[in-house]
Amino acid sequence: MLDDMMPAPPPRAGMGKSARHGTWGALEGGALEGGALEGGMQRCGPAPSSPVGPHPAAGAATLYLRATASLREPSRFPRLGGGRKVCRATRRFLVGVPTKPMARGAALIAVLIAVIAAGPRAAAETDPVEVVATFSLIGDMAAAIGGERVSVATIVGPNGDPHVYQPTPDDARRLAAADLVLANGLGLEGWIARLIAAARSDAPVVTVSDGIAPLTFHRTRAHAAIARYRRCQTGNRLDVACARGPLDYEDTIGTDPHAWHDLANARIYVANIAAALTEADPAGAETYAASLAGYQRRLAALEDTIRTVIRRLPDARRVVITTHDAFGYFERAYGLRFEALQSAIADAEPSAADLAYLIRRIRRMRVPAIFVETTTDRRLIERVARETGTRIGGELYSDALSPPDGPAPTFLDMIGHNIRTIEAALNAGR
Amino acid sequence: MIWDLVIDPFVAFGFMRRALVGCLAIALGGTPVGVFLVLRRMSLTGDAIAHAILPGAAVGYLVAGLSVGAMTVGGLVAGLTVGLLAGFVTRATVLREDASLAGFYLTSLALGVLLVSMRGGSVDLMHVLLGNVLALDDQAMVLLAGIATVTLVALAVAYRPLVVDSVDPEYLRTVSRTGARVHYLLLTLAVINLVAGFHALGTLMAVGIMIVPATAARFWHRDLAGILVMAVAIAVAASLTGLLLSFHFGLPSGPAIILCAGGAFVLSLAVGPHGSLLARRVHRRHLRA
């Protein structure tokens, strides 16, 4: 169960996390739980004697480092292994009995920070580049570009929804140990900035979507249509000409983060990733350039497939109805129209008006199939399918890859799976 | 005009009819239970139990996926465990009901949150747990109707001891030993109705449709029968209005329904004939004259 949440790095990623954290993980655990803490308690340093003193973090860090150092080289710190007497002030500081709650909180936080901050120093020199990607798509791209030279950890794993992820302390530890952090940007991972700050990571954070032309999110089409309907209505009368006019999306909510569905953007993503890797590990520049070129070729081939599939579809069938508004970039690039039940802001609960609008559209357009996305609640769209007598055409992967045994374990597989699913469902019954 | 605004949405769309029938079922079953909870000063008990249901439903979801059956069973087990344990502890130890309930439901809630984050799975579990009145399927409808029926029958059978235990528990204790049983029965009814409401409105909103109409009805009648009828009427009206508002103005349905009930509560509080702000003012002036 825990493995579901924190997936191991993809198979390509070379050295796994267990190898990376191996000896040091064990030492850290031991240092905190067992002897080292006692060793620390027996040392009456000046910092711990004043829990609210000016440098609690520094004090804790020093203690922590000394304690771990004493495990490595007991002879250098003879006092830590020796005396039985426990200094009360130190004990108060570490165990957390000070009378003022603020002081206790500060002490706890200081210890935590010290533990986390001590992480990167522990990393050995010859390790592969430690890359942390915020979610599965970027993790897969980084693994594909970096190959053997990088070790990729992903925060939001397969089938996870990056919009609403809740980071865990494990994530902070990985960030602290990272050499490079890759994020999508465009507002997708709202939690990443706080997480990086909390982990005290000094790894460069690269926004892989840098350089794409962002699409502004509007209201959903349903909302825009309702707004138009209201604009064109005076009292009880509807101005028909006005109601047939263009939709007004002005009410912008933000930037659409799902840029990877346009493969031209995906090319920019991988180029950014390759550049970031080259900067972090100049020795591997050739490897990165070579795998980048290969990846770009595969992207181009995939793009040809998409265009061919869509060209073969009759005009009337070029509509895809799905659960959440994640395919704006796909629509702009390839001319297939997407209509979503739910605004891309995953928290927004669809209203009866949204549902009614979508049902009317489907009835009028005689859409052959509607689609479910893997990261969203499918009950509503199933209701719509039953109410309109439309088939569920299959599952589309929009925000996350599938687990390795699923149909979309890599980014290229995912795009391929989506377009095959769409093709099969929209061509059915012709 | 009225046809377009009020009738047509239900004629044209099956999901609106389903939503309305689902809300009717909850109003018929849950709101009377809410009236008794309010009468016994246990209004917040409903909220606590709703939180306690969450982990059970989460376990059901983790085990069997998005299945009405598994989530119902899980919610029932968790809710009943917490409700009955709290009732037992209240009667067997020095702890008062609110304190024991708080202890158990917070533990249960923490367990639920833990389970939810351990999975971190494909669909955001909170969305699943929030339910959606627009997505009621056949199974959920049957469940809602069944629970409403069971509740009404149980209330009818246990009406007299329930009323006596609510208004004068000391008296009931002197003449009979049904007091504890009645108390557990009410807790059980609260749990099953919250589980039903959880499918339609989500756990938290389900408490709203249970308690808010009951508090509003208190201002309109003095006798219990009147309060019961009024509470159900307010719940039904709020459901209908909320759904229509959701339909015409694009508001999310669950909150719209509870907000309508809340509006009825504020209105009753201000101008209801019994014990409201207005009634008390008028009454006082009358005494002075």
pLDDT tens string B76-116:
999 999 888 888 888 788 888 888 888 988 898 888 777 76
Write out chain A residues lying below 8 Å of B256, CB-based: 351
Nearest CA in chain A to B242: A352
Model pLDDT, residue A254: 66
Burial degree of A318 (CB within 10 A; 0-12, 13-18, 19+):
middle
For residue B40, the distance in angstroms to the closest alpha carbon of chain A comes to 35
Alpha helices by DSSP H, listed for chain B, are 2, 8-12, 14-39, 43-64, 68-92, 97-119, 125-130, 138-157, 159-167, 169-175, 179-201, 203-217, 224-249, 253-271, 277-288
Domain hosting A90: range is 34-122
Model pLDDT, residue B76: 92
- Determine the Cα–Cα distance for residues B93 and B85; give it in Å rounded to an integer: 11
Q: Indicate yes or no: CB of B137 within 8 angstroms of CB of A2.
A: no
A14/B286: higher pLDDT: B286
Q: Which of B117, B122, B246 sits opposite A352 (nearest CB)?
A: B246
Write out chain B residues lying below 8 Å of A352, CB-based: 9, 15-16, 19, 134, 243, 246-247, 253
Q: Indicate yes or no: CB of B251 within 8 angstroms of CB of A223.
A: no
Q: What region does A135 belong to: left with phi over 0, alpha with psi -120 to 50, or beta?
A: beta
**A333 belongs to a structural domain:** yes
β-partners of residue A205 are: A181
Q: Indicate yes or no: CB of A353 within 8 angstroms of CB of B246.
A: yes
Model pLDDT, residue A85: 42
Residue type present at position B25: A
Which pair of structure tokens corresponds to residue A115? Answer: 């533990």
**pLDDT one-digit tens code per residue, B186-240:** 989 999 999 888 888 876 788 999 999 999 999 999 899 999 999 999 999 999 9
Q: Indicate yes or no: CB of B9 within 8 angstroms of CB of A352.
A: yes
For residue B11, the distance in angstroms to the closest alpha carbon of chain A comes to 12
Rg (CA), chain B: 20
**A239 belongs to a structural domain:** no
Q: Which of A4, A353, A354 sits opposite B121 (nearest CB)?
A: A4
Model pLDDT, residue B178: 76
Residue type present at position B249: F
Q: Indicate yes or no: CB of B252 within 8 angstroms of CB of A351.
A: yes
Query: Of B152, B142, B154, nearest to B22 (Cα)?
Result: B142
The DSSP code sequence of B175-237 is H-S-HHHHHHHHHHHHHHHHHHHHHHH-HHHHHHHHHHHHHHHTTT-SSHHHHHHHHHHHHHH
Angle among Cα A137, A156, A153 to the nearest 5 degrees reads 75
Model pLDDT, residue A24: 38
- Determine the Cα–Cα distance for residues A252 and A224; give it in Å rounded to an integer: 10
Write out chain B residues lying below 8 Å of A384, CB-based: 15
Query: Of A257, A290, A52, A252, nearest to A149 (Cα)?
Result: A290
**CB < 8 Å from B in window 207-246 of A:** 222-223, 226, 236
The yes-or-no verdict on residue A288 having pLDDT over 90 is: yes
Q: Which of A223, A355, A374 sits opposite B134 (nearest CB)?
A: A355
Write out chain A residues lying below 8 Å of B12, CB-based: 356
The upper half-sphere exposure of residue B269, i.e. CA atoms within 13 Å in the direction of its Cβ, equals 10
**A8 belongs to a structural domain:** no
Q: Does A405 touch chain B (CB under 8 A)?
A: no
Model pLDDT, residue B131: 64
A339/A91: higher pLDDT: A339
Write out chain B residues lying below 8 Å of A223, CB-based: 250
Q: Does A166 touch chain B (CB under 8 A)?
A: yes
**A300 belongs to a structural domain:** yes
- Determine the Cα–Cα distance for residues B121 and A11; give it in Å rounded to an integer: 21
Q: Indicate yes or no: CB of A355 within 8 angstroms of CB of B117.
A: no
Q: Which of B13, B117, B127 sits opposite A356 (nearest CB)?
A: B13
A388/A234: higher pLDDT: A388
**pLDDT one-digit tens code per residue, B3-62:** 888 888 898 888 899 999 999 999 999 999 999 999 988 888 888 888 888 888 888 877
Which pair of structure tokens corresponds to residue A255? Answer: 């930037």
- Determine the Cα–Cα distance for residues A103 and A109; give it in Å rounded to an integer: 10
The yes-or-no verdict on residue A34 having pLDDT over 80 is: no
Domain total in chain A: 2
Mean pLDDT of A346-374: 79
Domain termination site, one of A122, A144, A160: A122
Q: Indicate yes or no: CB of A383 within 8 angstroms of CB of B253.
A: no
Split at pLDDT 50, 70, 90, the class of A107 is low
Q: What region does A335 belong to: left with phi over 0, alpha with psi -120 to 50, or beta?
A: left
**A243 belongs to a structural domain:** no
Mean pLDDT of A113-138: 68
Domain B2-288, second-level architecture: Orthogonal Bundle (1.10)
Which pair of structure tokens corresponds to residue A224? Answer: 């825009």
Q: B252: which DSSP letter?
A: B
**A162 belongs to a structural domain:** no
Residues in chain A: 430
Return the domain boundaries, chain B: 2-288
Q: Does A14 touch chain B (CB under 8 A)?
A: no
**pLDDT one-digit tens code per residue, A200-257:** 888 899 999 999 888 876 555 556 666 666 667 776 677 777 777 666 555 455 678 8
Q: Indicate yes or no: CB of B16 within 8 angstroms of CB of A226.
A: no
Q: Which of A1, A222, A374 sits opposite B122 (nearest CB)?
A: A374
- Determine the Cα–Cα distance for residues A297 and A221; give it in Å rounded to an integer: 35
Model pLDDT, residue A343: 57
Q: Which of A165, A223, A380 sits opposite B250 (nearest CB)?
A: A223
Residue where the block lists tokens 């339909």: B247
Write out chain B residues lying below 8 Å of A222, CB-based: 250
Q: Does A170 touch chain B (CB under 8 A)?
A: no
Domain termination site, one of A122, A148, A183: A122
Model pLDDT, residue A113: 59
CATH number at residue A327: 3.40.50.1980
Domain termination site, one of A90, A122, A154: A122
- Enumerate residues 6+ apart whose C-beta is below 8 A from A339: A221, A222, A319, A320, A321, A322, A358, A361
Mean pLDDT of A72-79: 40
Query: What is the percent of chain A with per-residue pLDDT over 90, rounded to a whole number?
Result: 24
